[in-house]
Amino acid sequence: MAEKKKEVLLKIKDLHIEGYSDEEWIEIVHGVDLTLHRGEVLGLIGESGAGKSTIGLAAMGFARDGCRISGGSIEFDGMELTTTPESALRALRGSRIAYVAQSAAASFNPAHKIIDQHTEAPIHYRIQKRVEAQEDAMQLYERLRLPNPHEIGFRYPHQVSGGQLQRAMTAMAMACRPDLIIFDEPTTALDVTTQIEVLAAIRDIVDQFNTAAIYITHDLAVVAQMADTIKVLLKGNEVEEAPTEQMLGSPKEDYTKSLWAVRSFQRKQKPRPKGKAAVPVVSVQDIDAAYGDVKVLKDVSFDIYAGMTVAVVGESGSGKSTTARCITGLLPPTKGKILFQGEELPASYKDRTKDQLRQAQMIYQMADTALNPKVKISDIIGRPAQFYSGLSGGELKSRVDELLDLIELDPSKFYNRYPPELSGGQKQRVGIARALAAEPTFIICDEVTSALDQLVAEGILKLLDRLQRELNLSYMFITHDLATVRSIADEVVVMRQGEVVEQGPKDKMFKPPHHPYTDLLLSSVPEMDPNWLTTLLEERGVDNVGEAANTGGKK
Amino acid sequence: MSLFVIGYYALLIGASCLAAYFAKRSAFLLLFSLTLASFIMGIVGGVPALRAVTIAAATLALAAGTSYAFREFLVQILPEGISKEIKTAPLTAAFGMFVIFTYAIAGIFAPVIAPHGEAEVISSAFAPADENMLLGADQLGRDMFSRIVYGARNSVGLALVATSLAFIMGALGGLFAATKGGWLDQILGRAADVIMSVPSLIFALLMLSILGTSLWVIVVVVAVIYSPRVFRLTRAVAGNVVVMDYIEAARLRGEGTWYLIRKEILPNSTAPLIAEFGLEFCFVFLLIAGLSFLGLGIQPPTADWGSMVRENATLISFGDITPLIPAAAIALLTVAVNFVVDWMLYRSSGLKE
């Protein structure tokens, strides 16, 4: 990286922020200090609820609805933001401090063209005339390696892919050449292959314009690529801060070490059971499926044996979840069949018997929408037991207690509570308990850990592993996170555009030679090495990175 | 200058000074602009104008005080969960609740409260108010006050039954349409469109002329007219719930439609439905009053506010306010219900964020 001027741009001292809940103010950030020099990138990491985003917004002098900055000072380029009037702050935002949100799709206004939204700030602040601003936008698009930089801005947000939109948003943040950009989890919602494009683009542009940045994320490997210094937060407190290399090499605090250790969870790989008894629990045979006229699955087949975990990986849109919908019977396949312990299952869930429905359960990605917010935990878990096994009264209660024990939640505390009162990890555990209540032999886990923090996700993976051993369950594990695959899978199925590209035991899949698409997926997973991105870009050829996702996998 | 005028200005100016002294900016602005306005009104309208202002202000203050006290009363006597909600209610909503409470008492205990029977002729036609008859007599010499009290029972009760029926039909239809989808959704949706495309009053007049004006016919006709609105709302609300993963999970478990509706969808759509119930109640109430006014609603001698307005309408040309009393009763209830509904709508929209 180039030489950087060591002039202090942002200095936050003893920042306290309070949030309003249950009719009282509760402190959520307890005195955080932060110093950022011009051209420097600071990584803020921590679990959800650590106060990362709140601090990021406070750097703009902004507190979300229901939050207030209650103490400390925020000094931006010699200006004290906590006492500056709102109108002056507004003039600062967008022109000198910019913000890139997590979901570009939700942050762009779908009713306006991208370039019009891009040029809004420079025109408003009278920095450029419209035509100049548009030309500048196109240049930025080119630098961020967006395809057709002269034309792409004139599209509407929904006509552009997620990764491109995220880059367009970064370009928009650069429109006024701000001194400071705050990136709030800009790549969390993206696939690994698209994530690389965005990361490379962000890093280049920050380097080129000598912009300072605060990079908020929960992904350590990502922050290792981006940041000069890393600050670890826990529940509104600072844990430690150190330059990236040092932080990765020798973290001091226990909490930081535990974060670093998350990806170490690994389970022994099991081989398929042999002999005549080995009938696959679920066997998907040559299924095709379509939503209306759009064909989404082509000749998908794979087997899942008892007590094994089969991971289905691929980018979004590759048909992973659709396959799950076919197995559960929500989307009857147009061709092919699904065997359950050697017997063919009716295509639609409506035609299946209660017992067939009981055998295959599902755990969902978003525990928020998977649990009815108006139903007690005891009823959520108890219902399948009541429905399938006809339990009631005391029997039902002891079964629910047993299940709560199984998922490591204290029955006396959780029995009468409602889902909105639970944390993300607890909700996911309740989702697991609901699946277990049916006493299934096969569970589909649809991205169960992708919405969770790493430590919590780790806990869920361990729980799933223990349950598998105790209850001899088979899992179909849908994920796009290869680290998860590495830790829990026995076999891997790689999907791309509705087809199975490659499948086999995990150890084989992670060793070369690979199918080119598998290779692309594998090499796109960020590693903890701070030079990983640089090396990878050199290997792939810098100019090619934007298109890598599109060309790399072609046969 | 009379003592009243001097006292009036002294009170206003004193209050403004106090507000200014204690730096209550908005209170001071309000009081002092009222003082200035009173100067002009005093010059133009004289003492009567000032008296009117005083009476209006006193009424407002009394209503506000009653609402405040009623809200505190509810907070005290209700269990903790509900009282916490009621604490957030604005004064308007508390006023609405107080009025509804009063009407409910009047309706339920009508025979005890009313001094005379609803069809009892006790005096000459259009007799003025005396100590026996609080509000005077109507066109047949029946006690107006007793008829108003009985009217609360008849009009409000009928509207309540009709709204409930409309709600049961519309909500059930909407829930089934959203859950089942497909042809059932199409049939119910188109049927609702057909009913909604006919102007409601004309449709009601038509049906009542054909089927006669018995009580049950009125209830059913009004319910049919208003159920499509409920249907549409319920279907939209339930439509947002049906796509959730927990519904999918319940379907995959093999649960029946009735279970889905009862246990999974309904608890998540009650807030907007309750607000809609209040709103619909007003419309139904006004429609029934309108029908009675036209002579097709509740039949005499049953007391009903709509028909009472019509029967006494001739009196208005003599400058008597008797026909306005039942009209005011209708208006007050409508306003009160709307106050409460506004608060509920605000709450349910606030919860969604």
Chain A partners of B246 at a C-beta cutoff of 8 Å?
369-372
Dihedral angle over CA of B95, B100, B103, B108, nearest 10: -140
Choose from A351, A372, A375, A445 for mutation: most chain B CBs within 10 A: A372
Alpha-carbon gap: A299 to the closest alpha carbon of chain B (Å): 25
Final residue in a domain of this structure, among B65, B85, B106: B65
pLDDT confidence tier of residue B39, bands split at 50, 70 and 90? confident
pLDDT at A222 over 60: yes
Rounded to an integer, the average pLDDT of A453-474 is 85
Tell whether B118 is within 8 A of chain A (Cβ): no
In a domain, B71, yes or no: no
- Amino acid at position B160, single letter: L
Averaged confidence pLDDT in chain A = 81
Query: Containing domain of residue B8, as a range?
Result: 3-65
Distance CA B177, CA A448 (A): 32
Superfamily of A8-249 according to CATH:
P-loop containing nucleotide triphosphate hydrolases (3.40.50.300)
Nearest CB to B254 within list A354, A366, A375: A354
Model confidence band, residue A550 (pLDDT cutoffs 50, 70, 90): very low
B223/B334 same-domain check: yes
B131 occurs within a structural domain: no
pLDDT score at B4: 83
pLDDT above 70 for B351: no
Q: How many domains does chain B have?
A: 2
pLDDT of residue B37: 87
pLDDT beyond 60 at B244: yes
Contact (CB<8Å) A375/B263: yes
Q: In chain B, positions 185-244, which contact chain A (CB-CB < 8 Å)? A: 244
- pLDDT, one tens digit per residue, over A82-104 is 877 888 888 888 788 888 887 77
Contact between chains at B249 and A328 (C-beta distance less than 8 A): no
Cα separation, A81 vs B235, whole angstroms: 48
In chain A, which residues have their Cβ closer than 8 Å to the Cβ of B249?
362, 364, 370, 434
Cβ atoms of A4 and A37 closer than 8 Å: yes
How far B311 CA sits from the closest chain A CA (Å)? 51
Q: Is the Cβ of B267 closer than 8 Å to some Cβ of chain A?
A: yes
Q: Does residue B38 sit in the same domain as residue B179?
A: no
pLDDT above 90 coverage of chain B, percent: 23
Question: CB–CB of B253 and A357 under 8 A?
Answer: yes
Domain presence at residue B341: yes
B244 contact residues in A (CB cutoff 8 A): 369-370, 372
Does B182 touch chain A if contact means CB atoms closer than 8 Å? no
Q: What is the model's pLDDT at position B235?
A: 92
Q: Say whether A357 and B267 touch across the interface (CB within 8 A).
A: no
pLDDT tens for B129-159 read: 777 777 888 888 888 888 889 988 888 888 8
Q: Give the CB-side neighbour count of residue A387, counting CA atoms within 13 A.
A: 24
To the nearest 5 percent, what fractions of chain A are helix, strand and coil?
40, 25, 35
The answer to whether B252 contacts A383, with C-beta atoms less than 8 Å apart, is: no
ipTM: 0.74
- Rounded CA gap, B151 and B139, in Å? 16
Mean pLDDT within B63-70? 91
Distance from CA of B253 to the nearest CA of A (A): 6
Q: Which of A77-91, A357-371, A464-478 has the lowest mean pLDDT?
A: A77-91
pLDDT greater than 60 at residue A548: no
* Chain B residues touching residue A329 (CB < 8 angstroms): 252
CA closest to A440 among chain B residues:
B253
State the Cα torsion A506-A509-A510-A515 to the nearest 10°: -160
pLDDT band at B26 (very low <50, low <70, confident <90, very high): confident
In this prediction, residues A171-192 reach a mean pLDDT of 82
**Residue at B176: amino acid letter:** F
Which of B46, B65, B84 marks a domain boundary? B65
| Chain A contact set for B85 (CB, 8 A) | none
Last residue of a domain, one of B11, B35, B65: B65
Nearest to A77 by CA among A12, A11, A9: A9
**B107: in domain:** no
B282 in a structural domain: yes
> Does residue B27 lie in a domain region?
yes
Residues of A within 8 A of B254 (CB-CB) are: 349, 352, 354, 357, 387
Residues of A in contact with B81 (CB under 8 A): none
Domain assignments of chain A as residue spans, ordered by start: 8-249, 306-331+349-522
The string of pLDDT tens digits covering residues A15-53 is 888 877 766 788 888 878 888 888 888 888 877 777 778
Q: Which residues on neighbouring strands pair with residue A494, listed in sequence order?
A: A313, A502
Please determine whether the domains at A8-249 and A306-331+349-522 fall in the same fold group of CATH: yes
Tell me which of 3.40.50.300, 3.10.129.10, 3.20.20.70, 3.40.980.10 is the CATH number of domain A306-331+349-522: 3.40.50.300
Does the residue B204 lie in any domain?
yes
**CATH assignment at residue B216:** 1.10.3720.10
Q: Which residue has the higher pLDDT, A75 or A552?
A: A75
In a domain, B125, yes or no: no
- B325 three-class SS: helix
